[in-house]
Structure 1
């Protein structure tokens, strides 16, 4: 099958190229970049040399690209995918959007948090957190690939919300990301001197991943859930660690918490349940599509603390996109994604 990557020069786009190169059922049809059209991808990413010697084209030819592709990955900032999705509605090609354009059931929520008018509000995309929405993913035409913070945070608490073991009020998600989560474009806050030997919060009480997490929490809780979400920037290349706090319902035991996680995830290839009293680390999931989850009960405060770790460029972006593609095309879900994490 033929796959194209729109926005191949960003970090997520380059990671997609790495993963697709190792996929036994995929051939690259086209890769694009508006800022580097006509250049060879190896000029920017020498690590791809001798494997992906491909010239970058322009997405101005998107209809021709669609005609030559079975699937198109859109690895662009928000605001672009909805234009492409609207343009390609009648084409026989599946779309996986790694941005935020199609992640919300209500386009008005997107507009409120992203400050952009939605240009394709009629399209109902499938939210591609594969472990939770696998059956819908199978039939998706346009798929909204979740964000990195959201994947890490959602997978941490959904089993407990689904089982009714935690209260839906007072949930706190404290999450940290590597600097690749900020993208490849030049920003003052991502410069070496800003990040090195530093650690800080940002987007406090205003980060646009907040309503995305709330949307899925609410799905599984059966009622509206409002959370406190605070992201932080780590002085590392890649990785997400989310520490999630929730009040336990009266009488809930450690055994019930462990059972809730096992009931949802015991048979999931990419979720590694580390168990009670084991605290995940980002180094243990680096460059893999795995999510490590551990938890602890605090009897003194009546809370459960759930910790989850993933690689923001793989399970938090490109790896999850490939996982979704596999499901959408009826392939084994872990095809091309069985690599162990790299260590150290």
Structure 2
């Protein structure tokens, strides 16, 4: 299969190039950047020197149609909604890494993204590709909306417990921390080294656009609307997300109960690793990989459970899950191109 990557000079696009170089069924035939057309990808990213690609193309839909079978859109929100319909109309498969098609309600998108939503018919056509939960819906489809990084980390941690009725969905509080690469490659004062180094800060308090995405997913698990508290923090590291999710138990449970429930729920899904009782994951333990690691701690004194989940935000939170969605879409082994053991330390 021939793949084109639009937005190939952002962190998500560059990670797609790296991962697809190891895919047995995919060849990257076009790397597209509106800001760097006509230059070799290795000129800006020397670590890709050994990966053969053409010069960076401009965003020319006709050119892309002639060179690709599937298009990955690693673009900012507001851009994908302009490009995706053109590629779909040309018969190409599209996997969108932006947030343009994640929220099914247009008013919610307008409120949280501060942008006009995509055409509703296109939104309805996009399959939300949280692989371990909705993977069966992805098969044989042509248009996938790849989940957000925070939303992936939080939803994988909470979906089984919400679906089983083990926790009160209205009591959920998600305390999330992310490395700086989650903000993208663009320059800003907030991502400046002297602002981030030896610092730890919260941002977008009660305003982060992944909040309604998490609520949308957990509402499907609960069978009713779910409203929760989600607070993101920025920590001085490059990659990684950790979510510490707190919720009230509906009845008495133990750590061992949660381990058993989650291992059964994610049985056969190779990229979710459920930790044994008394062991909790760390971001470095999934660095560079497509894994989501999950651990638990039940507090019998307060009647609450804390669920800890970690991912690499550029892999499982972006490029890796996009490739996993392609594998599921095509009926391939979902691990193809993703068999990376985490790099440690």
Q: TM-score, normalised by structure 2?
A: 0.97
SS in structure 1 of the partner of residue 298 of structure 2: strand
1:100 aligns with 2:99: yes
CA distance in structure 1 between the partners assigned to 2:221 and 2:88 by the alignment: 30
Distance apart, 1:115 and its partner CA: 1.1
Q: 8 Å contact 2:196–2:236 — kept in the other structure?
A: yes
1:163 aligns with 2:173: no
CA distance in structure 2 between the partners assigned to 1:255 and 1:293 by the alignment: 13
Q: 8 Å contact 1:63–1:88 — kept in the other structure?
A: no
Which residues in structure 2 correspond to 1:1-344 (within 5 Å)? Answer: 1-59=1-59, 61-123=60-122, 124=124, 125-344=126-345
SS in structure 2 of the partner of residue 134 of structure 1: helix
Q: 8 Å contact 2:30–2:53 — kept in the other structure?
A: no
Could you report, residue by residue, the CA deviation over 1:55-102 in whole angstroms, capped at 9, with x for unpaired residues? 11111x113302421110000110111111222332211100000000
CA distance in structure 2 between the partners assigned to 1:53 and 1:325 by the alignment: 20
SS in structure 2 of the partner of residue 289 of structure 1: coil
CA distance in structure 2 between the partners assigned to 1:96 and 1:120 by the alignment: 17
* Root-mean-square deviation over aligned CA pairs: 1.1
CA distance in structure 2 between the partners assigned to 1:205 and 1:332 by the alignment: 39
Q: 8 Å contact 1:204–1:231 — kept in the other structure?
A: yes
Where structure 2 has 5 or more consecutive residues not aligned to the other structure, the ranges are none
CA distance in structure 1 between the partners assigned to 2:87 and 2:54 by the alignment: 24
Segment of structure 1 superposing worse, 253-262 or 82-91 = 253-262
Distance apart, 1:255 and its partner CA: 4.2
SS in structure 2 of the partner of residue 100 of structure 1: coil
CA distance in structure 1 between the partners assigned to 2:163 and 2:118 by the alignment: 34
Q: 8 Å contact 1:82–1:119 — kept in the other structure?
A: yes
Could you report, residue by residue, the CA deviation over 1:222-247 in whole angstroms, capped at 9, with x for unpaired residues? 11111100000010010000000000
CA distance in structure 1 between the partners assigned to 2:54 and 2:88 by the alignment: 27
The alignment of Structure 1 onto Structure 2 pairs a total of residues equal to: 343
Where structure 1 has 5 or more consecutive residues not aligned to the other structure, the ranges are none
Could you report, residue by residue, the CA deviation over 1:288-344 in whole angstroms, capped at 9, with x for unpaired residues? 001110001001110000000110000000000000011111211000101100111
CA distance in structure 1 between the partners assigned to 2:248 and 2:69 by the alignment: 46
CA distance in structure 1 between the partners assigned to 2:90 and 2:233 by the alignment: 40
